[in-house]
Amino acid sequence: MKLLVNSKIIELILLETKTADIINKSKDFSSSISTWGDEIYFKTPINGIN
């Protein structure tokens, strides 16, 4: 998965989880990011993952 931040592309390594797989297969979306240490957090348009 790639993240575009201030015209720079960051390639993300997702864990092998069902949620990460669904996010990785989703269409492009925009979101604001928050950071905590080395971690990046962002909201996605995906709801209701079982």
Residue 15: predicted pLDDT: 92
Using an 8 Å Cβ cutoff, are 25 and 15 in contact?
A: no
* Phi, psi of 40, deg, nearest 5: -120, 130
Q: What percent of the chain has pLDDT over 90?
A: 22
Query: Which residue is listed with tokens 């269409």?
Result: 27
Structure tokens at 27: 């269409």
Measured distance CA(24)–CA(38) in Å, rounded: 20
Amino acid letter at 16?
Answer: E
Average pLDDT over residues 14-36: 86
Which range in 22-26, 35-39, 44-48 is most confidently predicted, on average pLDDT?
35-39
Residue 50: predicted pLDDT: 61
